[in-house]
Amino acid sequence: VAIGTNPGSGTLSGTATVSAVAGVATFSGLSINKVGTGYTLGATSGSLTAATTSTFNITPAAASQLVVSTQPAASTTAGSSFSVGITAKDSYGNVDTNYASNITVAIGTNPGTGTLSGTKTVAASSGVASFSGLSINKSGTGYTLSASGLTATSASMSVTTSTFNITAGSA
């Protein structure tokens, strides 16, 4: 058996070749790693006519990781607003569109002893938490933000942004 229609560019895992018993080949434990609508599987065996399944959909697994989908700007003036995007993904890298839990950001590396202002906790919508209007009040080179949230089983997951700089404003 192999993927026929592959709308999500997924990979089929599991035992894809089995021997028929009493004319029936049973495939158990198959999985596809990418979300998509309208997958099909095709089966072939020697000179027999090939068979194709009805279409089916693959949905995301529960979120197990956070990723930074929008990094802070490389440099921002102290007190000026910036944005960050955090996305909840399953272990296969698919966005968990059902994830709607709170995600919180905080300063990770704080070279200027600055304070983070703005809305620091946001409920994800379709797996994405968008933080806008964040600001840091003191200049420094190499700030990071850390974002954290919980999985469906209340396990903690976190991610850290790339480094960014906060520059002094005008006198």
How far is 25 from 21, CA to CA, in rounded Å?
6
Residue 116: the pLDDT is 98
CB 116 within 8 A of CB 102: no
Residue 3: the pLDDT is 96
Q: Measured between alpha carbons, how far apart are the two ends of the chain, in Å?
A: 69
Beta bridge partners of 117: 135
pLDDT digits (tens, 9 = 90+) for 64-115: 999 999 999 999 999 999 999 999 999 999 999 999 999 999 999 999 999 9
Q: Label residue 104 exposed, middle or buried (CB < 10 Å: 0-12, 13-18, 19+).
A: middle
Residue 164: the pLDDT is 98
User: Rounded to 10 degrees, what is the CA torsion of 114, 118, 121, 126?
Assistant: -120
Residue 170: the pLDDT is 81
| Span 138-158, average pLDDT | 96
Residue 51: the pLDDT is 95
Residue 86: the pLDDT is 98
| Span 117-123, average pLDDT | 98
